[in-house]
Amino acid sequence: MNLFDLAGNGGGAAAAPGTVCSRKACRAAAEWQLLWNNPKIHTPERRKIWLACGEHRAWLEDYLQTRGLWKETAALGTVPLDPSGRIG
Ligand SMILES: [Zn+2]
């Protein structure tokens, strides 16, 4: 349970653009950034970044780890954001 759920999804005022959780349909403010790399399509030093709220951090980590893509999870703000690194 988190406070943003209680506020509803109408305004989207809870989080600034670019800092919203990457989980589909989630509008919560992100607290974590998940760094990942797909060796089939990215160079080894490339890092894609997904954002995760506290509720979805484990879900997104598991998604990436299952596919062998996960590299690191860091607190939001510690790594520069890649605006394209989101779930489509
Ligand atoms: Zn979320």
Q: Name the residue among 81, 70, 69, 73 with its Cα closest to residue 40.
A: 69
Beta strands in the chain (DSSP E): 32-36, 48-52, 70-75
Residue 41 CA to ligand 1 center (angstroms) comes to: 26
Q: Is 61 helix (H, G, I), strand (E, B) or coil?
A: helix
CB 59 within 8 A of CB 29: no
Q: Rounded to an integer, what distance in angstroms lies between the CA atom of residue 69 and that of residue 46?
A: 12
Stronger pLDDT, 42 or 86, i.e. the higher one: 42
pLDDT more than 90, % of the chain: 65
Residue 22 CA to ligand 1 center (angstroms) comes to: 7
Residue 15 CA to ligand 1 center (angstroms) comes to: 11
> pTM of the entire structure?
0.71
